[in-house]
Amino acid sequence: MSRILGFLIAFFLSISAASSSSPIRSRSLLRTITGENVDFPDAAVDLNETNFESVLRDSPASFAIVEFFAHWCPACRNYKPQYEKVARLFNGPNAAHPGIVLMARVDCASKINSKLCDRFSVSHYPMLLWGHPSKFASGGWQPKQDKSDIVLIDNGRTADHLLNWINKQLGSSFNLDDQKYENKALQSNVTDPEQIARAIYDVEEATSTAFDIIIEHKMIKLETRGSLVRFLQLLVAHHPSKRCRKGSADILMNFDDLFPTDILSTNRQDSENDNGKALLNNFHICGKDVPRGYWMFCRGSRNDTRGFSCGLWVLLHSLSVRIDDGESQQAFTAVCDFIHNFFICEECRVHFDEMCSSVSRPFNKSRDFAVWLWSAHNQVNERLKKEEASAGTEDPKFPKIMWPPNQLCASCSVSTGKKINTTNQTEWNEDEVFKFLASYYGTTLANVYKDKNLLADGGNDGRSEVLSTSTSAIVVPVGAALAIALASCAFAVLAWVWRLRQKNRKYSYRHSLKRAEEKLEVRLF
C-alpha cells in the first residue's frame, strides 16, 4: 500500500513540475481537454518592400486587399483577428474560396516599408485598399485621384463588415462559416470556356506535385533517368507556364550533379547522395511559391476528387497542342514513358500503358498526337465513370463525361441515336475536335498570362514566346544531350558546345592543379 501511495505522490509531483516548466504544453493540453480551438496560423500574407511587387504580380487571385498597419498601433492589434477571419476564407491550403482574393498586410512602422507606404498615401492605421493584384504591383494610390484602379475600403472595421463589402463588389454571398470543399457557390466549369485560363495555376501545381512525388518516392533510378530527362526537355520547350519552363531548364542544366549515374548505378542514394539532396533543395520546378496547396479550375466539390489528376491531364493536353509536327512521336514517347515510370497509381498506369501499346504507327503530325491523347482521356473517363458509379465515389458536381461537351464545342460531335448500356453513342468530328483542343488548351489557357503581360504580343497562341523563351541560351548537360538531339538539332548543338567548354575548363583546372602538386613535391623533397 505504501508503495502505491508513493508512486501516486511522485506521479502528481511530476505533473506539477511539467506544468510549471512548460506552460505552453499545459495550455495545449487544456485546449484538448476543454475543446478550445488552437490558434490558427496567420492567413494574411505579410509583405514588405522586397517582395511586394513580385508576390502581387504573380498572384493567381483575381483581386487583392492590402492592409497597411503599424505593429505598435493598439487598434491594429485589435483589428488583426477580424482581418484574419476573412483572410482564412481566401488564403491558405484550407481556404473555402481560394484564388479569388489575396489578402495581405504591410507594416508601415518598419523602416524598410516607408517608401512603399508613401506610395499608397497611408494616412491612418489600419487602412485597407482593394484592387487587382497587378495594379498594386505596378502603381500606387492617391486619396483625391478621380479615376483609380485601387479603391479605399471605407467600411471594413469588423470581419462581417469587410466580408459584406467584398460580397457587394463581387456580387457573391460568401459567409464567415464557409468551409473548404463545402462551398455552395462552387460552379461547374463545363459551360464557361474562359475558366480554363485559370487552370494555368493548376498546371503549375500539378507539375510541382508530380516532381515532389518523384523525389519523395526515390523514383529516379538508372533505368528511369533518361525518361525523366526527355520529359523535362518537353517541359522546357512547351510548358504553358514561363516559371515552370525556367525551373525545368534549371533542373535539366544541373541534372548530372543532382542525379549522378555512378550513385544511381550502385544504389547508394541514401548513404552517399547527401550533397545531391542538399543541392536539390535549391531547385523548384515551378518556382519556390508553388505548390500553393489548393486548386482552382481543377477543384472538386470534395477533398478527394479531381485536383492533381485533373491538373496533370491539363498539362499533357497543353503540351500536345504546342509541339510541332516533327516532335509528335518524341512527345508521345516522352509522355508514355513518364506515366509508366513516374505515375504512382498502378491501375491508372497499367491502363495508360495499354493505350500507349495499342498505337501501331508513329505519329507524323502534332494533330495526331493531340487527338490520340484526347481519345485516351475519354477512354479513362469512360472507365472511371463505371467504377465510380459502382463504388459511389463520383463527384456529383463534376461527373465523368465524354469531352468536350456540346456546350463547349457544338461542332465536335453528333449523337448517333444508338445506345449501348443506356448511353448514347457519339460520332466525333476529329478535325473540329483538334481545333477545339488547340484553342482551349492553347490560346485560352494562356489568356491569364496575356492579361498579366507575360506573353509576347506577337503570335496567335503564344507559341513564339514559349519557344523563344525556352530555347534561347538553354544549356544542358551531357546526360541530357542524347534526348535533346532527338527532339531538336539546335538543342544538341548547344549541349555539345556547352559540354565541350566544361570539359576544357575541367581539363585546364586539373592540369594546373597537377602542375602545382608536382612543384610542391619538388620543394618538399
User: Cα(67)–Cα(75) distance, rounded to whole angstroms?
Assistant: 13
Instruction: Please tell me whether the peptide bond between 41 and the residue prior to it is cis, using omega within 30 degrees of 0.
Output: no
For the CA atoms of the chain, what is the radius of gyration?
A: 28
Give the CA angle between residues 377, 293, 255 to the nearest 5°: 75
Q: Among this protein's residues, is 73 annotated catalytic?
A: yes
Residue written as cell 531538336?
A: 488
Q: Among this protein's residues, is 412 annotated catalytic?
A: no
**Virtual torsion, Cα 149, 292, 452, 300, nearest 10 deg:** -90
Q: Which helix (H) or strand (E) holds 419?
A: strand 413-420
Q: What is the DSSP letter of 63?
A: E
φ, ψ dihedrals at 190, nearest 5°? -65, -40
Q: What share of the chain is helix, strand, coil (3-state, %, to 5)?
A: 55, 10, 35
User: Cα(432)–Cα(232) distance, rounded to whole angstroms?
Assistant: 30
C-alpha cell belonging to residue 43: 492567413
Catalytic: which of 76, 298, 336, 412?
76
DSSP string, 350-373: HHHHHHHHT--S---SHHHHHHHH
Report the half-sphere exposure of 291 (CA within 13 A, side-chain side). 19
> In the beta sheet, which residues pair with residue 63?
101
Instruction: Indicate which residues carry an active-site annotation.
Output: 73, 76
